[in-house]
Amino acid sequence: MNEVVRLALEEDIGSGDVTSQSCVPESQKARGRFLAREPLVIAGVGLLAEIYDLRGGVDELNVFKRDGDLCAKGEEIAAVSGRARTLLECERVALNFLQRLSGVATAARRYADAVAGTKCRVLDTRKTTPGLRLLEKMAVAAGGVANHRMGLFHAVLIKNNHIAAAGGIRNAIERARTAGLTIEVEIHTREDLHEALDAGADWLLLDNLTPEEAAQWVREIGGRAQVELSGGITLDNVRAYAETGADFVSSGAITHSARAMDISFRLEVV
């Protein structure tokens, strides 16, 4: 993660924190506390050490929560002590990572809780912030949702444009076998469904169905392939989709629409 953290610090600090350098004595020591200002699932705490190390280190860093832990409003997440200038110049980057990743983890936990008791698992997608995919998917996992593809290199997922470029579903599936991986195919019509099953698809991605339609299609598939439901799945309706008998539901909203959680940094001189 060092490169991502380094870029974030470089972006924010640039040639120097002119405010801290001009009004805070170089020798001034301070301590700071990271506090949850609302209930949340924490993620990203492992980055704190990297952030401070890249700016010369601190005297002491105590992390009281692990990724995936619940935090109540007002609860202390971590405490740090060292040069006041170092703590101040790292404050925004540290908060940006914690707030963003905790937002993803909190959203993921809500989706996971919503399908509890069903056989269905929630998956994430590749709809992540450019450059932050690994971190956001780590936050998803901390929240209790399963990671799907890390990237195009990770698994075969034949979508509409692949089907068009390959000249049909059967052609796409037969050619994809050379990859030696599980073959997933995006399905929009019953004709697509039967063609993919006949061609031996391992995993079917049923897109933009209602829960009622999805339940019918799952029964029709009858266990001949794993079934993932996608498209328009929200926290409000994910339970209904999970109860259709599908193996998985996926939602891009867990990453692309997660709200940053409210976390503060309180500093005091020592």
Calpha distance 249→236 (Å, rounded): 13
Collapse the DSSP code of 62 into the 3-class scheme (helix H, G, I; strand E, B; otherwise coil) and give the result: strand
Q: What's the distance, CA 108 to chain centroid?
A: 8
Buried/exposed code over 48-87 (b: 16+ C-beta within 10 A; e: otherwise): bbbbbebbeebeebeeebebbbebeeebebbbbbbbbbbb
Backbone torsions φ then ψ of 230, nearest 5 degrees: -150, 165
Q: Which of the residues are catalytic?
A: 92, 127, 159, 186, 207
